Amino acid sequence: MNPVTDVHTLWTTAAEVPGRIPAPHIEYAQISPTLIVFGAAIVGVLIEAFLPRRNRYTAQLLLSVVALAAAFAAVIGLAAGGFATTKAHLAAMGALAVDGPALFLQGTILLVSLVAVFTFAERRLDPAAHGKRVDSFAAQAAAVPGGAAEQAAVKAGFATTEVFPILLFAVGGMLIFPAANDLLTLFVALEVFSLPLYILCALARRKRLLSQEAALKYFLLGAFSSAFLLFGIALLYGYAGTVTYAGIAEVVADGAKQIDPALAGTMGNDALLLIGGALALMGLLFKVGAVPFHMWTPDVYQGAPTPVTGFMAAATKVAAFGALLRLLYVVLPGMRWDWRPVMWGVAIVTMLGGAIVAITQSDIKRLLAYSSIAHAGFILAGVLATTRDGISSVLFYLAAYSFVTLGAFAVVTLVRDAGGEATQLSKWAGLGRRSPLVAAVFAVFLLAFAGIPLTSGFAGKFAVFKAAAQSGAGWLVVIGVLSSAIAAFFYIRVIVLMFFHEPKADGPTVAVPSPLTTTAIAIGVVVTLVLGLAPQYFLDLAGQAGTFVR
Amino acid sequence: MENLIALLIAAPLVGAALLLCGGKRLDRTGHWIGTLLAVASFAVAAVLFTDMLGRTADDRALHQHLFTWIPVGGFHADLAFQLDQLSMTFVLLITGVGSLIHLYSVGYMAHDERRRRFFGYLNLFLAAMLLLVLADNYLLLYVGWEGVGLASYLLIGFWQHKPSAATAAKKAFLVNRVGDVGLSIAIMLLFTTFGTFAFGPVLDAAGTATSAGEGKLTAIALLLLLAACGKSAQVPLQSWLGDAMEGPTPVSALIHAATMVTAGVYLITRSGTVFDAAPAAQTAVVVVGAVTLLFGAIVGCAKDDIKKALAGSTMSQIGYMILAAGLGPIGYAFAIMHLVTHGFFKAGLFLGAGSVMHGMNDEVDMRRYGGLRKHMPVTFVTFGLGYLAIIGFPGLSGFFSKDKIIEAAFAKGGTEGWILGGAALLGAAITAFYMTRVMLMTFFGEKRWDPDEVHPHESPKTMTIPMIILAFGSVFAGGLFSVNEAFVHWLEPVTSLAHGHPPLGATATTAATVVVLLLGVAAAWLMYGRKPVPVTAPRGSVLTRAARRDLLQDDFNHVVLVRGGTHLTDTLVRLDHTLVDGAVTGTAVAMGGLSGCLRRLQNGFVRSYAAQMVGGAAVLVAVTLLMRGV
């Protein structure tokens, strides 16, 4: 008997014998990373309520850093305790998996978030307003842009320190997402991390209307895709009579064994399985930004405050691909022949679409958004391998890619003119002459995006393509390499623009950041180079983490 | 112990990173940091050396495997080191002479405002050179090979504000590329032939010569020779070395005399079994060596620029080493021995030249020197000892190593042996001539400089101490190496050894060497010691004029390669514009157009985004269902 069916029967019979509900058995230690982050988020909310305004920034920053570091330590502890390999199992009544991929992805998400917190806390880039240092976020989110209330808030030196607990809530949701082992937990996790992201997107200090528009678009489309996902979940439940991954997989593999009388009419109906599976996949493809569900990406990436964009682009992708992997490898391996052709198509149009449309972009944030779409396609190629190597290569790619992305967006926050960040590509002309170091660092990230050897991008791309080729997807790899070539064009174009063009007279200046952003960028560069120079150790690590518990 | 190997490279590499990225705050201390790290590397080398001496001869090689960079099938790009007797010899030479030259540079570059950068490049060079000789496979050797090329380029053009220096750096880089292409193709061929890059398996397999035919090995060996010619400035790729003297003098001493230019000799010696299995390629090697040793010597006779005269000499001495290496097992050990002794005395001579220039307001024309021995006693004595060593004065370092090469050349046997031996002997005579000329023009005779403008003086301690130490090496190294043939036996496990028998016997050969040496010195004394040296150079004979122009090497290159090359590239460019660019630009335009169309889908309206999502979902579901149907 699997635990959730237990719950299910208990639930339907609960009205008769209320006294017999047992307390759910929760392995607190094994899900401690998530609990730490959520606990810290709640403390963060209390800080907002009780601490005086002047102390909040320091307290929130400290709390977030400590919580994320502690959660990361907990992940390491669990992995060292063997939960990544031999002791992998399902915790919390089968709702959450504690296994190699989950721990690897959680570790990645936590590290990425830790670095993201640094960029969130940066307060030296914008010129001080009324004698107070300000960050990238609106003084008071509720104030109408340009209105009197906003001016008053700016003058009073308010700061939206709520971003830290909001970030922590999002991180908590992301930690559950790749570990979720039944469809309901999956859905709840999705909402838990999506809602905070919508809010964060709306909080830009500059260009607030653009920011709010982005948040609204993200919210509307996100809600729309959630509806698809939920509908897909309902259909899958109708098909299998259960929402647990293992339960559905069993039904897919062997057909319905015990037919629940209430579901006798639908159970084992393949149409439900196929439609439900496709819709559930769609919900996840939306989150990873795969074509044709990618439309939100450029608009939201451009409008959101850049630190949020960096966090979102890095951490969301990790979490969503983690969930996608688990869904495909644990729930639907039995129907591989059904979903593989479709996903092939999605991977191809995603790689090509992202790379081609990026060519004509004129805004650096939009460019990076399309680049992230193309990368989603490359990662999908690894996902499609349906082998152990496929899993480990995707895990490695996600870790490598997330740090490059975070670093690249952190650099974007530095290049500024009178209107805030100068994201127009034309303004970046000749940046290499004015600020060689910043331009060189950005060039490293671009080369990593393009997949040039000795950067992490090459190692990651090589790993996913190798896994895909070994699983017989030769054509997919050919198309992937061609897309890479197209993509290389626009990455190199930015490098050419920075180093080989004359600087413009009214060009942007490069702000000198505090150690926070410097640390974030430095970590990005170091990870990019280390994973590029000596990828084997980390590939092995990802390889050890490459088995899902069922 | 083997874990220390990486430390050898790490120390200067860290130094380079610190100095090049550290910014202005290191301006005041940077040169000492660089020197310290070079010395640290030498200290590690000394520890490893003592440890190596403590083991038996067959058990001396150490291996350190750091990691494999992406293994794919049979392709293993390993970051792994091998420290055997041959590598150890180089490591000691590189770090030892390198440390001395760092120290010398502290004084020499004291007034240069880009001093920190200079030391950063020097450290970078040390790291790359050590990587080159410590690599345990050809691929990693190639990394070091390119690394030293880069450092050499940066240092030749260090005074980039001088157009001549910038041009010289570019020239060195381009000529070296020709050799590098040879090396890269050779490595590819090695991989396709033997399936690995590692020295051990490749060289064993080449020795047994079962898996590869002689033709293929000859091709590989010739390509390796091309690489060696580029890096070691051998005919026909010799043209860059003279111009490379535009770099600061410590650079000329370290890179363009003692270490980097000998990388070609290392490559040939290391690949010994490949060459042994390809006799035709070996003949090519000895021809290159013999031609270059005469070529360099003749050029050295005509130059009035003290550094260029020494550069000609370097070329000639490396010619000796290449010649010896081409002789096979009877020559390898002597090639390396001459390489080490040459490292001492040539570095010493260059440092002496630098010291002279330092005292003479950077004047390099020997016709404006004269009588400097009284003004710079230390420089005079150390330079003089280096001079005696290089001409092969009995008892000094050069005598032992050069004499052995001449013997080995005669021992090659037959007409070939007579020709090679004769060339080597003739080279020795010319060496004695041009080095005596340098000595006489610089330190003897009357003053040809204006005492009101130039005030020759001895250099500071940081410069003279390295010169003194190197002078000791120039005097004693050869003798020490020859006690019981210690050096030869030390290298024997790596290079294998065969004793050659010169047709006239060893004593006669030695006697002949001493006689031609005296003849050379006498001729120089007659021309430059007995009568005053004119301040402006006389017109000279046709040969002299040709030699001043480096035996017309640049004219030859210009007519044959540059003009021919220009025609070829013009044609290719035209083809490229019409055919290739047509296709490429066409694709690019098509992509751009497609991009412009697709971009319109992104119109900013949420409603159309949502509609597209619905469409996408419909397609997803439909295809999934269809797939089941099919």
Interface test with B, best of A269, A299, A357, A437 (most B CBs within 10 A): A357
Q: How far is A2 from chain B (nearest CA, A)?
A: 29
The one-character DSSP state at A146 is: T
pLDDT band at A257 (very low <50, low <70, confident <90, very high): low
End-to-end, the C-alpha distance of chain B in Å comes to 66
Q: How far is A177 from chain B (nearest CA, A)?
A: 22
Find the residue in B nearest to A220 (Cα).
B606
CA–CA distance, B138 with B151 (Å, rounded to integer): 20
Q: Complex ipTM, two decimals?
A: 0.88
CA–CA distance, B386 with B308 (Å, rounded to integer): 17
Q: Is B588 exposed, middle or buried (0-12, 13-18, 19+ CB in 10 A)?
A: middle
Q: Answer whether A357 sits within 8 Å of B602, measured CB to CB.
A: yes
Parse chain B into domains and list their residue ranges: 293-332+343-538, 558-628
Decide if A212 is inside a domain: yes
A423-447 pLDDT, tens digit each: 999 899 989 888 899 999 999 999 9
- Which residues, 6+ apart, have CB-to-CB distance to A369 below 8 Å? A297, A298, A300, A301, A302, A313
Q: How many structural domains compose chain A?
A: 1
Q: Answer whether A466 sits within 8 Å of B596, measured CB to CB.
A: no
Check the CA dihedral B247-B251-B256-B257 and report its sign.
Answer: positive
pLDDT at A19 over 80: no
CA–CA distance, A371 with A367 (Å, rounded to integer): 6
| pLDDT value at residue A97 | 92
Q: Answer whether A359 sits within 8 Å of B627, measured CB to CB.
A: no
CA–CA distance, B71 with B194 (Å, rounded to integer): 17
Decide if A407 is inside a domain: yes
| pLDDT value at residue A2 | 52
Decide if A16 is inside a domain: no
Closest CA to A445 of A372, A366, A510, A509: A372
Domain that holds residue A363: 24-544
DSSP string, B198-224: BHHHHHHHHHHTSSS-HHHHHHHHHHH
Check the CA dihedral A400-A403-A409-A413 and report its sign.
Answer: negative
Consecutive H or E run containing B51:
helix B30-53
Q: Answer whether B595 sits within 8 Å of A216, measured CB to CB.
A: no
- Kindly report the number of other CB atoms within 10 A of residue B565's CB atom: 11
Average pLDDT over residues B437-449: 89
- Which residues, 6+ apart, have CB-to-CB distance to A317 below 8 Å? A288, A289, A372, A375, A376, A379, A398, A401, A402, A405
Consecutive H or E run containing B232:
helix B214-232
Q: Answer whether B70 sits within 8 Å of A536, measured CB to CB.
A: yes
Find the residue in B nearest to A296 (Cα).
B609
Decide if A115 is inside a domain: yes
CA–CA distance, B152 with B156 (Å, rounded to integer): 6
A287-320 pLDDT, tens digit each: 999 988 999 999 999 999 999 999 999 999 999 9
| pLDDT value at residue A259 | 59
Q: How far is B502 from chain A (nearest CA, A)?
A: 52
Q: Which two tokens stand for residue B226?
A: 């091309």
- Residues from chain B contacting residue A221 (CB–CB below 8 Å): 606, 609-610, 613
pLDDT band at B553 (very low <50, low <70, confident <90, very high): confident
Q: Answer whether A282 sits within 8 Å of B616, measured CB to CB.
A: yes
% residues pLDDT > 90 (chain A): 63
- Residues from chain B contacting residue A460 (CB–CB below 8 Å): none
CA–CA distance, A304 with A213 (Å, rounded to integer): 9
B354-394 pLDDT, tens digit each: 999 988 888 888 888 888 888 899 999 999 999 999 999 99
pLDDT at B309 over 70: yes
% residues pLDDT > 90 (chain B): 55
pTM listed for this prediction = 0.75
pLDDT band at A14 (very low <50, low <70, confident <90, very high): very low
% residues pLDDT > 70 (chain B): 99
Decide if A283 is inside a domain: yes
Q: Which two tokens stand for residue B141?
A: 């050797």
CA–CA distance, A382 with A397 (Å, rounded to integer): 9
- A342: nearest CB among B602, B606, B627: B627
- Kindly report the number of other CB atoms within 10 A of residue A29's CB atom: 14
- B68: nearest CB among A277, A466, A536: A536
Find the residue in A nearest to B608 (Cα).
A295
> Residue B395, by phi and psi: left (phi above 0), alpha (psi -120 to 50) or beta?
left
Q: Count Cβ–Cβ pairs < 8 Å, chain A vs chain B.
A: 101
- B596: nearest CB among A274, A353, A360: A360
| pLDDT value at residue A225 | 95
The one-character DSSP state at B557 is: I
Decide if A324 is inside a domain: yes
pLDDT at B628 over 50: yes
| pLDDT value at residue A271 | 85
Q: What is the mean pLDDT of chain A?
A: 89
Q: Answer whether A360 sits within 8 Å of B588, measured CB to CB.
A: no
- Residues from chain A contacting residue B628 (CB–CB below 8 Å): 270, 274, 338
Q: Is A415 exposed, middle or buried (0-12, 13-18, 19+ CB in 10 A)?
A: buried
A98-107 pLDDT, tens digit each: 999 999 999 9
- Which residues, 6+ apart, have CB-to-CB distance to A18 below 8 Å? none
Q: Which residue's entry shows tokens 């880089």?
A: B173
| pLDDT value at residue A401 | 96
